[in-house]
Structure 1
Amino acid sequence: MSKNDNIKIITGDPKKAIVKLAIPMMISMLLIMMYNIADSIWVAGLGADALAAIGFITPLFMVLVGLGNGIGAGANSLIARNIGAKNYKQANNSGLHAILLSVIVSVIFTILIEGFMVPILQFMGAGDTIQYAMDYSYIIFGFLFIFVYSGVASAIFRSEGDMKRSTIAIAITAVLNIILDPIFIYILNLGIAGAAWATVISATMSCVIMSYWIWGKKDLYLDLSLKNFDYQTSLMVDTLQVAIPSTLENIVFSALAIIINSMLVLAAGTTAVAVYTASMRIVQLAMIPLIGLGTAVLTVAGVAYGAHNYKNLKTAHSYSIKVGFLISIILGAIMFVFSSPIATIFSYTAASASLSPQIATAISVLSLFVLAIPHGIMSSMMFQGVGKGTYSLLITLLRSLILETVFAYLFCFTFGWGLTGIYAGVVFGCFVGGTIGYVWAKLFIRRFKQIAIRKYAPQEN
């Protein structure tokens, strides 16, 4: 598919655009989750403490990935809006500003996270697992730039509808990581540090490949040559208006995970964290189609907003939610029915065999989480696409940090439902918060329609 064909797709029928963009993104996310699950499966062989350590590090790693994804979301939104407005000069400049931001934030956050790693882990209650967590985290966070830049570069490809190469880069990362994990962990006898090195090396390879496509082969629709760089504070601000809220959303998810882990420790000890970590890997796997749809909505909504096309914006939002619920029903049912067989993949050694029944129970309850999230996530991604990152952040704050936390506490400790109460509270809070976000998105689209008709009526047919 040529670069012009990609542009025709994202500026054409929003339903077709969402499908064509979402499917490769789903494959990409599936591959990412496969190597995340591979990490957990291989690390599980080291015992419950090692698996729990991954659970403590995962929230921080989400922040790390969120830095790149946040800047990438800001760049994706800004580039897509400029493409919709047919301002290709600013589209090129926006991509270059995003890469500059990736360098700046990587340096700052590497210093901060590496310097405060021990007190952070102690605050999180890592306890006996802290050495495992430190062995893993110092390596991962020491190479922060690799992960931030990877997220930004991938978003640049997505912003112009080039999902194929974005998917290829991620596929290389995933396959290489899955191959390297057992080699570094067991054959080279590096333990949990081996899992970290496998992740860093595989991510580096994808960065090298994407860089070649951008500056070596030079066949993108965008031209990211340095000659097109014209520093503009307004572009940095515009990108950050989506990037900061998007990154903060990942911090919110991390804060939620820290709070939930603390509740789990209080309710049943660090073993409960290992159980929740394993079960959430499966939930995240089932959420991949929803994330793929949401990422497609971000690009399509950005183009529609830049072109002042309220019909395409409305269609993109509504259609993605319908498809999302259909997929969620199917995947949620599969998780519930096959919860016991799925749980066994995390309990294949004597050190982890006792976790299987508990993981199965957690997966059964959390299968409902997949059904609770489509309308909320599509609304959040629509807001990011139109450059309203703060709105998306507010929805996430309400849904995750407030409602999920409150209901998890109430159901577990006040109602006395124990661990099941924590799982149920997360599900219920997600659904309520998502519903509020959905109503807000509908009201925003209605107002945008009125503005578009009033200001751009001569261009509407």
Structure 2
Amino acid sequence: MAKGSERDLATMLGDPKKAIAAMTVPMLVSYVVMEVNLFVDTFWTSGLGPEASSAISTVAPLYAIFGAFGVGLGVAASATISFRLGKGDKEGASALAGNTMALGVLVSVAVSAAVFLLMGPLMDFMGADDIADLGREYIMPFVLTSWALILHSIVAGILRAEGGGRRSMAVLVTSAVVNMALDPILIYVLGFGLTGAAAATSFSAMAATAVGLSWYRSGKMNLRLTRKCFILTKEGIMDIVGVFIPRTTESLINNVIIIVQRVFVIACAGTIGVMYFNMPWRFVMLGCIPAQAIGASMIPVCSSALGQGRPDKMTEGVRYSVKLTLLVSAALSVIIIVFADQMVSAFTYSESMAEHKETLAWVLRLYGFALVPFALTSLGSSVLQALRRSKMATGVTFVWAFVKLAAVYVASLYSFETVIYALVLCHYVILAMMAAVVYREIKMKKNSASSTSI
């Protein structure tokens, strides 16, 4: 075993503040590179015209389904494996890692079949017949390579589970860099258009998965992935799905919200409204990267603290994460609001897109006010994953879905501008809901630990 992996594990099991800080930096770098990759994707595909951009925005929820399952399994791996490592059970942790990957391959087959069957009906439901062919052109490569899209997220989650933040970063950065290199070649040089953009993403996921698995094949990690680890067991499946199903359901609910939202947006602003609605949000996602990095780092640290029987360390880690997220997201919110016009210039460099710059900047400026509640809500969900109370996060998301869709529906009866105002206000509603649930769950966990020790 390499000394580096032993040191990473010792850091994760030590001071929660130092552990979260140590893992957050590489996670932040990897997430920034991934988001830059999305911007580069948008840069290249926007050169294909507004129809192509609208098609990508319209079918984005379908692509996000693959991501939802990958992230769900990655979070499940991070939470469950780190808990076992906190208890000192490396053999059980290794078995969970292998079980998660095996389950990921099986899930990818089912998800591909579902997306293929739902693709046509969903395009019809959203009223996007004019760009349906372009949407199918973009989605099909993902249907054929979903195993790679899901596995690379799982491998990154397993690496985080044993404190390997830098190695997890390498996996995610590999995916982004390969994608950015392939985009112009496949889209323009070889002339594959939207199919080329999707294929670049798929090939990059394969490369990232190969990088992550190479470390386990070399025997340098704390976990030992033998053939036996990949044989699914009832105990392993129950452990994984306890986090995976609620976390994935949460993501799928969000994707359903996005799909239905698009129906309301198209009804009041046409298919071009989807572009106005979606493109500026990418800057908010970019601004949420620190919160995502902090949350991804906090999950294994706080989960391992619970495995050690130390709820005080868990609470300290959560408190530190909240303060850090609030500080960073507030600063980034101000930057987005002030520099909205300059930011959307990246998407409006072509003549066909220039006329849309003013509207895109206005939407982005309003979205800037949603960044802080969005970031803190995302962190709240991560806290519940660490507490292994994923069902509570799903419950909050379920209620949020009804509140948000009702607000957007009513707003769409008036104007597109009203929809944006409603969306921003809704993010403050879900933050209040999530904060109340997280506070209660932490209090219950501490009380439970106190009564057990007595």
The 8 Å contact of residues 23 and 166 in structure 2, kept in 1 or not, is answered as: no
Structure 1 runs of 4+ off > 6 angstroms? none
Instruction: Write the letter of the residue equivalent to 2:419.
Output: I
Tell me which residue corresponds to 2:315.
314
2:184 equivalent to 1:182: yes
1:35-434 mapped onto 2 (5 Å cutoff): 35-215=37-217, 217-228=218-229, 231-399=232-400, 401-413=401-413, 416=414, 418-434=415-431
Distance 1:60 1:152 in 2: 19
- The one-letter code sitting in structure 1 at the alignment partner of 2:57 is G
The residue that corresponds to 2:449 in the other structure is 452
Query: Could you say what secondary structure the match of 2:222 adopts?
Result: coil
Q: Quick check: 1:403–1:430 contact (8 Å CA) kept in 2? A: no
Amino acid at match of 1:430: H
Gap regions ≥5 residues in structure 1: none
| 1:8 maps to amino acid | A
What's the TM-score once normalised by structure 1's chain length? 0.95
Whole-angstrom CA distance in 2 between matches of 1:225 and 1:345: 47
When the two structures are superposed, what TM-score results if normalisation uses the length of structure 2? Answer: 0.96
What is the deviation of 1:154?
0.7
Q: Which moved more, 1:339-348 or 1:307-316?
A: 307-316
**Which is further off, 221-230 or 345-354?**
221-230
Count how many residue pairs are aligned between Structure 1 and Structure 2: 452
Alignment check: 8 A CA contact 2:96 2:229 kept = no
The 1:407–1:115 alpha-carbon spacing in structure 2 relative to 1, beyond 3 Å, is: closer
Q: Tell me by how many angstroms 1:229 deviates.
A: 5.5
Gaps of at least 5 residues in structure 2 are none
For 1:128, give the aligned amino acid.
D
Letter in 1 for 2:450: I
Deviation at 1:348, TM superposition (A): 1.0
Partners in 2 of 1:57 and 1:31 — Cα distance? Answer: 23
Q: Could you tell me whether the CA contact under 8 Å between 1:52 and 1:273 is conserved in 2?
A: yes
Q: Distance in 2 between matches of 1:230 and 1:271?
A: 48
Contact 2:67–2:149 under 8 Å retained in 1? yes
Residue by residue over 1:33-69, the C-alpha shift from the partner in whole angstroms, topping out at 9 and shown as x without a partner, is: 1112211121111111100111112111111111111
CA distance in structure 2 between the aligned counterparts of 1:422 and 1:323, rounded to whole angstroms: 31
Contact 2:138 / 2:195 at 8 angstroms: preserved in 1? yes
**Counterpart residue type for residue 403 of structure 1:** V
Q: 1:116: how far off?
A: 3.2
Partners of 1:74 and 1:387 within 8 A in 2: no
Paired amino acid for 2:22 = K
Q: What is the distance in 2 between the residues matched to 1:229 and 1:45?
A: 44
Look up the equivalent residue of 2:430 and give its one-letter code: G
Q: Residues 35 and 229 of structure 1: is their aligned pair in 2 closer, same or farther, counting only changes over 3 Å?
A: closer
Aligned-partner residue type, residue 139 of structure 2: S
Aligned-pair CA distance for 1:408: 2.5
Question: CA 1:231 to 1:113, structure 2 compared with 1: closer, same or farther past 3 Å?
Answer: closer
Identify which range, 31-40 or 94-103, moves more after superposition: 31-40
**Alignment partners' CA distance in 2, 1:332 and 1:2:** 37
**Structure-2 separation of matches of 1:31 and 1:90:** 33
- Among the aligned pairs, what percent are the same residue? 25
- Asked if structure 1 preserves the Cα contact closer than 8 Å seen for 2:377 and 2:431, the reply is yes
**Alignment check: 8 A CA contact 1:313 1:445 kept:** no
CA distance in 2, matches of 1:313, 1:47: 49
Secondary structure of the residue that 1:351 maps to in structure 2? helix
SS of alignment partner, residue 313 of structure 1:
helix
CA deviation profile, 1:413-453 (whole Å, cap 9, x unmatched) = 3xx3x223222222221221122211211111112112112
- For the 8 Å contact 2:20–2:301, the answer to whether it is kept is yes
> Is the 2:97–2:229 Cα contact (8 Å) retained in structure 1?
no
Query: After alignment, is 22-31 or 329-338 more displaced?
Result: 22-31
Q: Per-residue deviation at 1:214?
A: 1.6
Deviation of 1:4 (Å): 1.6
* Distance apart, 1:124 and its partner CA: 2.4
SS at match of 1:387: coil
Contact 1:81–1:386 (CA under 8 A) maintained in structure 2: no
The letter of the residue matching 2:178 is L
Deviation at 1:32, TM superposition (A): 1.4
Structure 1 position 223, deviation (Å): 0.9
What is the alpha-carbon distance in structure 1 between the residues aligned to residue 320 and residue 194 of structure 2? 43
Cα displacement (A) at 1:86: 1.5
Q: CA deviation at 1:227?
A: 4.1
Give, as a single letter, the amino acid of the residue that structure 1 aligns with 2:350. T
Query: Using the alignment, how far apart are the partners of 2:208 and 2:366 within structure 1?
Result: 36
Aligned-partner Cα distance in 2 for 1:23–1:421? 38
Residues 292-329 of structure 1: CA deviation (Å, up to 9, x unaligned): 11111211221122122111121122221111111111
TM-superposed CA distance for 1:164, in Å, is 0.8
Match of 1:24 in 2: 26
C-alpha offsets along residues 204-254 of structure 1, whole Å, 9 cap, x if unaligned? 111111121122x12111111124556431220121111111111221121
